[in-house]
Amino acid sequence: MRTLQMVDTKTQYLKIKNEVDAAVLNVMESSQFIGGKVVNDFAINLGTYNGVKHVIPCANGTDALQISMMALGLKPGDEVITPSFTYIATVEAAALLQLKPVFVEVDKSTFCIDPEALEKAITPKTKAIIPVHLYGHAAEMEKIMAIAKKYNLFVIEDNAQAIGCDYTFTDGTIAKTGGIGHIGCTSFYPSKNLGAFGDGGAIFTNDDALAEKLKMIAAHGQSKRYYHDLVGCNSRLDAIQAAILDIKLKHLDEYIAARRKAADFYDRAFAGNEKITTPRRAVYSNHVFHQYTLIVNNTDRDGLNKYLADKVVPSMIYYPVPSHKQKMFAAFGGGDYQLPVTDWLTERVISLPIHTELDEEQQNFIVSNVLDYIN
């Protein structure tokens, strides 16, 4: 059996090695390392894939979120509502910009922001909502957009884990996550579903004026070379990364299918086990399985995590500490929150290896070890 890993980017690379190597060498020979045709072509292709008018590439997903909040003109003290149950990057940039992160509950079955809790957290200072499509499953965007409209708020989708995910509205319209809110942010961190060979990120919008502003902010606020109209930052996607991503983009749907196949296998293997809740796929969202995350009940979750490690089966706790309990947010009243669903999930989630290269032998081994401990 091949060694188990949470993500197997090496085997994935070897399957497209010739194409990738040629594309990288091509950039080196062109010596157009920053910007240029390769980066622009990738941005256009990604926009077409995601059904969004503008794609602004940047250095990473965290920058994408920060640049988005800067472009929306949010001011110190403005409140930004986000789920506590997420990766820290979703909210860190808000704090950095002296905005106030406001943490709300997630839905127990989808791990995504609870629209009712979100609406209750709105105050006159609220300016934006950042839903996170956690683990590759969409948040309830139709409800979230309706709330945003009612209270005149911006929506920035954190789509770092869900690129390629389809959201179905009640009228049957389908849209890809990241292209539904005013802005969408994604990450090309190597382990993400569309992963680079280094860091990378992108910002999506359908709004022409916003696109212009996002582009300027990512490039030192410049309107034309050496004319700086806004305070910005320096956030670029390397041409080498763009060249690799453009190749991987062509395989993205096939990669997602492979992840779904692996998820289906796990679903079948754990079906009916009363101590295990397998990931839900709500009617409005398909799932791109950035993570395959179980909820284990009446089980020592950390014990399971250690047991699997002893059997050389990797597993991860995403995330062991929710945002409202991170020391970083103590100054924002982090410790005062009562988020029982978030706390409940934090104690029970465990993610198993999921990627494009898993085979049945590997999955059988993972499953039997999980069941050996649980039963």
Ligand X SMILES: *Cc1c(COP(=O)(O)O)cnc(C)c1O
Q: What is the three-class DSSP state of 113? A: strand
Q: Which of 189, 225, 250 is nearest to 41 (CA)?
A: 250
What's the rounded Cα separation, in Å, for the pair 23 and 240?
Answer: 8
Q: Which residues, numbered 89-148, are part of the site for ligand X (CB under 6 A)?
A: 89-90, 132
Considering only 61, 164, 232, 353, the residue that binds ligand X (CB under 6 A) is 61
What's the rounded Cα separation, in Å, for the pair 1 and 67?
Answer: 44
The residue among 87 and 284 lying less far from ligand X, judged by its C-beta, is 87
Task: Please report how close the Cβ of residue 64 comes to ligand X at its closest, in angstroms.
Answer: 7
The residue among 115 and 201 lying less far from ligand X, judged by its C-beta, is 201
Task: Name the phi and psi angles at 238, rounded to 5.
Answer: -65, 150
The residue among 130 and 367 lying less far from ligand X, judged by its C-beta, is 130
Of 54-62, 145-153, 249-257, 272-280, which segment contacts ligand X by CB under 6 A? 54-62
Say if CB 359 and CB 2 are below 8 A apart: yes
Q: Measured in Å, how far apart are the chain's first and last C-alpha atoms?
A: 24
Of 55-63, 103-111, 277-285, 353-361, which segment contacts ligand X by CB under 6 A? 55-63
What Å distances lie between residue 307 and 112, 372, 374, CA to CA?
A: 29, 10, 10
Place of tokens 């999506």: 204
Task: Please report how close the Cβ of residue 201 comes to ligand X at its closest, in angstroms.
Answer: 5
Residue 302, both tokens: 């950390």
What's the rounded Cα separation, in Å, for the pair 282 and 214?
Answer: 32
Applying CB under 6 A, does 60 fall inside the site for ligand X?
A: yes
The residue among 194 and 367 lying less far from ligand X, judged by its C-beta, is 194
The residue among 90 and 110 lying less far from ligand X, judged by its C-beta, is 90
Of 57-65, 174-182, 322-330, 359-367, which segment contacts ligand X by CB under 6 A? 57-65
Q: Which residues, numbered 169-188, are part of the site for ligand X (CB under 6 A)?
A: 187
Chain positions contacting ligand X, by CB under 6 A: 60-62, 86-87, 89-90, 132, 158, 160-161, 187, 189, 199, 201
